[in-house]
């Protein structure tokens, strides 16, 4: 499934000056921003997809933007969405549509810093895209991975991504490991996580935000099962694999790059912090 959110006609709200980019939110590499800061509640909110962690607030479900509202707002009041099973053709939408009651408020709040982080990431890319010298920016790489995982789980739990049997996913279908990774109780397995993709990806369109769910191909032992998600933000495209190391034969890919330098002459730099640190440095002609 490919979800293409095409925002070209509506792109407003891009930062026009470098000082509009908030550089004060650089994150410590050691802190996952979704980590719960208080002791476990030992409560469950029925319908919260993280209920197996037994750390809900016990109150009713809250409404959640599974594709970050702060990111969608960058695209103006409306944008075009394509690729959902309930849409036969691309349709203009508002951010409100991409909401679902799938998390308790406590778990929802714990994930909301991911939305701030991806919006900041987008602002840097958008600045470079406009030829602005954006300076240096640091992000916790694992939080970018967690944001992609949040989108993937949101798509599944909201019913926009169906299982192999066509059934809507339920909380108890989710591997507890995914939830522990999402809430920073466990690291991503070795070889899983973010891969930057340097070449065009089949079926991923040219919109400014494209989301494509990755399935194992026919003939594979796990055919049809989801193993990850591909995100394309402007021209910056990456896969987050949660099931296995990805095998890509035709594209140039880099696992967890530590640095992206934009343009020649340079227009800025994004550093991704990883544990252990990455020595991979890429120069992108953005
Ligand atoms: Zn919960």
Domain ranges of the chain: 2-9+32-284
Residue numbers of the chain with a pLDDT score lower than 50: 7-29
Which tokens hold the place of 123?
């602002």
Paired with 226 in beta bridges are 215
Question: Which pLDDT score, from 0 to 100, does residue 27 have?
Answer: 40
Side-chain-side CA neighbours of residue 107 (13 Å): 37
Distance 154 CA to ligand 1 centre (A): 13
In the DSSP assignment, the letter for residue 264 is: T
Which pLDDT belongs to residue 228? 85
**CA–centroid distance, residue 172 to ligand 1 (Å):** 13
Distance 110 CA to ligand 1 centre (A): 10
Tell whether the torsion through CA atoms of 119, 124, 127 and 129 is positive or negative: negative
Predicted TM-score (pTM) of the model is 0.86
- Ion ligand 1: protein residues whose beta carbon lies under 5 Å: 45, 48, 50, 56, 104, 107
């Amino acid at each position: 499934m490919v979800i293409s959110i095409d925002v070209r006609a509506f792109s407003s709200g891009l930062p026009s000056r470098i000082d509009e980019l908030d550089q004060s939110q650089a994150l410590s590499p050691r802190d996952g921003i979704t980590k719960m800061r208080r002791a476990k509640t030992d409560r469950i909110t029925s319908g919260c997809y993280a209920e197996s962690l037994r750390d809900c607030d016990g109150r009713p479900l809250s409404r959640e933007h599974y594709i970050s509202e702060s990111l969608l707002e960058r695209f103006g009041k409306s944008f075009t969405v394509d690729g959902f099973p309930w849409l036969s053709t691309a349709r203009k939408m508002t951010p409100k549509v991409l909401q679902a009651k799938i998390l308790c408020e406590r778990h929802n709040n714990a994930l909301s810093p991911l939305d701030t982080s991806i919006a900041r990431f987008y602002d840097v890319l958008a600045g470079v895209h406009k030829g602005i010298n954006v300076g240096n920016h640091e992000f916790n790489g694992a939080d970018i991975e967690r944001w992609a995982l949040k989108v993937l789980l949101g798509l599944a739990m909201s019913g926009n991504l169906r299982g192999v049997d066509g059934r809507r996913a339920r909380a108890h279908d989710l591997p507890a490991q995914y939830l522990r990774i999402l809430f920073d109780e466990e690291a991503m397995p070795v070889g899983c996580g973010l891969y930057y993709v340097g070449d065009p990806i089949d079926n991923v369109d040219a919109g400014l935000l494209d989301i494509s769910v990755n399935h194992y191909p026919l003939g594979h032992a796990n055919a049809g099962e989801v193993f990850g998600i591909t995100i394309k933000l402007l021209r910056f495209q990456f896969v987050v694999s949660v099931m296995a190391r990805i095998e890509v034969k035709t594209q140039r890919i880099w696992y967890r790059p530590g640095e992206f330098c934009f343009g020649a002459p340079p227009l800025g730099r994004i550093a991704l912090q990883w544990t252990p640190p990455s020595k991979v440095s890429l120069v992108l002609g953005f």
